[in-house]
Amino acid sequence: MRVRRTLVAAVRGLGLAPAVELGSVTLFVLAVVSLALIVVGVGVLTTPVVLFWARRYAQLRRVWGYDLAGVRIPADYRPFPAGLGHGPVSQARRCAVLLGDPATWRELLWLPVDASVGLALVLLPPSLVGYGVGFVLLPVLEGLTGIGGYVLGLGSLPAEHPWLLFTLPVLGAGFLLLARYANPALIRAHFLLAAVFLTPPRAELAERVARLTETRYDAVDASAAELRRIERDLHDGAQARLVAMGMSLGTIEALVEKDPAQAKELLARARQSSAEALTELRDLVRGIHPPVLAERGLGDAVRALALRMEIPVEVAVALPGRLAAPVESAAYFAVSEVLTNAAKHSGADRIAVGLRHADGRLRITVSDNGRGFAPTGPPPGGGTGLRGIERRLGTFDGTLAVSSPAGGPTLVTMEIPCA
């Protein structure tokens, strides 16, 4: 088993070496050049692209660290402000956000260290195994072919260094013994070195934990309020109708022989009450988790939601497939709340909803051509709805941004991480 781990570590090191050298060196050189070009304006456009590549590279190394060595390297990137486009101004804002993020500078400091010390750590496991085997087999190779010394870069051994034929096999055995115990540790040390540079400081992690704790409490409060609403709706709606229907059936049973006409009339009312109770139960279930959301996904669920609106709603969906069920549920009810607010308060006659997935985030935009609500603030009841949406998204570390100048239009942007 230990021999197998030794060989696996050697193969992994051999595979990591070119990726480390090519990725770290190339990205560090590009980043330095791009940062230098900021003074002439070109770097403002190229730096976000290069730093985005560096982030993707660091994320890939985090995945490798956990898969190959069991090393967890947390990430904590500052989110981009909502509403960023693709023009020069947006690129400049994106560049400012990236350069103001401490995680960016940790990655730039890590790249040259990874290209030097990190590369040495992944080259040692295959080198120990390769040279160990080569040195042990050197007398055999030299005796059979006469080129063993040339293969190992030592020249003609018998003519120049005949004593090496006796000492190098001992050294090779030492290399193999060292590789047997050190190879897995060297691969782990390579990723631990990356963790030293890429792991956020304790203060940042503490701030993130505090935010997640707050959103967890908000989620618990929201769940409790939702349970109370369901209980109230059942008690005041479907349950009341079912009780009334039971009483009606008892009256019908007493009148079916004495007054068949009245019994028939009461039976018709009972049938209507049962239909109304069934409708209310369906609406209640739809409010908990719409069947179309479970069966067809977020895109079709939002389209179905749009069809029920009195205001024309255009829906544009660009999603690669189904997302995680909790993310879809949070996004659906957030869109539902925003559409409800727009229909009640905006005075708009047209609403547009956009859903797309990019860079591991679900991005949702809801815009209308209504009157807006600045500078006096949200309309009555709208503020509570927006705070509820913010709490719902905060559970997933999501963000909510609202742009609604006086006279409109209003743009609500929501983002939920869903890598």
**Model confidence over 27-59: pLDDT tens digits?**
999 999 999 988 888 888 889 889 999 999 999
Please tell me what DSSP assigns to residue 31. H
**Residue among 356, 351, 318, 321 at smallest CA distance from 336:** 351
Determine the pLDDT at residue 109. 93
For tokens 């050298």, what's the residue?
21
Please tell me what DSSP assigns to residue 344. I
Q: How confident is the model at residue 207 (pLDDT cuts 50, 70, 90)?
A: low
Determine the pLDDT at residue 142. 57
Q: Look at residue 381 and tell me whether its pLDDT is greater than 60.
A: no
β-strand 313-318 against 361-368: which pairing, if any? unpaired
Determine the pLDDT at residue 226. 60
Instruction: State the average pLDDT over residues 14-36.
Output: 91
Residue type, 255: L
Q: What is the mean pLDDT of the chain?
A: 78
Determine the pLDDT at residue 286. 57
Q: pLDDT for 90-137, tens place per residue?
A: 778 888 888 888 889 999 999 999 999 999 999 999 988 887 877 777
**Residue among 416, 224, 226, 218 at smallest CA distance from 327:** 416
Q: pLDDT for 81-99, tens place per residue?
A: 766 666 677 778 888 888 8
Backbone dihedral region for residue 356 (phi beyond 0: left; psi -120 to 50: alpha; all else: beta): beta
Q: How confident is the model at residue 239 (pLDDT cuts 50, 70, 90)?
A: low
Q: Look at residue 402 and tell me whether its pLDDT is greater than 70.
A: yes
- Residues near 120 by beta carbon (within 8 Å), at least 6 away in sequence: none
Domain 222-288 of CATH type 3.40.50: no
C-alpha 223/C-alpha 266 separation (Å) is 40
Determine the pLDDT at residue 382. 44
Q: Are 404 and 410 in contact (CB under 8 A)?
A: yes
Determine the pLDDT at residue 8. 86
Q: How confident is the model at residue 5 (pLDDT cuts 50, 70, 90)?
A: confident
pLDDT over 90 for what percent of the chain? Answer: 13
- The residue ranges of every structural domain in the chain are 2-198, 222-288, 291-417
Determine the pLDDT at residue 107. 92
Instruction: Work out the number of other CB atoms within 10 angstroms of the CB of residue 348.
Output: 20
Please tell me what DSSP assigns to residue 389. H
Q: How confident is the model at residue 181 (pLDDT cuts 50, 70, 90)?
A: confident
Which one of 3-12, 371-380, 399-408 scores highest in mean pLDDT? Answer: 3-12
Residue type, 41: G
Determine the pLDDT at residue 140. 64
Specify the range with the lowest mean pLDDT, choosing from 210-214, 226-230, 269-273: 226-230
Determine the topology of domain 291-417 in CATH.
Heat Shock Protein 90 (3.30.565)
Radius of gyration of the chain (CA): 33
Burial class from Cβ neighbours inside 10 Å (0-12, 13-18, 19+) for residue 145 reads exposed
Backbone φ and ψ of 361, nearest 5°:
-135, 140
Determine the pLDDT at residue 90. 76
Determine the pLDDT at residue 220. 60
Q: pLDDT for 304-342, tens place per residue?
A: 888 888 788 899 988 888 888 888 888 888 888 888 888
pLDDT over 70 for what percent of the chain? Answer: 74
Q: pLDDT for 258-291, tens place per residue?
A: 777 777 777 777 777 777 667 666 666 655 667 7
Q: Are 109 and 7 in contact (CB under 8 A)?
A: no
Instruction: State the average pLDDT over residues 180-207.
Output: 83
Determine the pLDDT at residue 324. 82
C-alpha 390/C-alpha 361 separation (Å) is 16
Determine the pLDDT at residue 218. 62
Q: Could you give the C-alpha distances from 109 to 56, 194, 388, in angstroms and in order?
A: 16, 10, 40
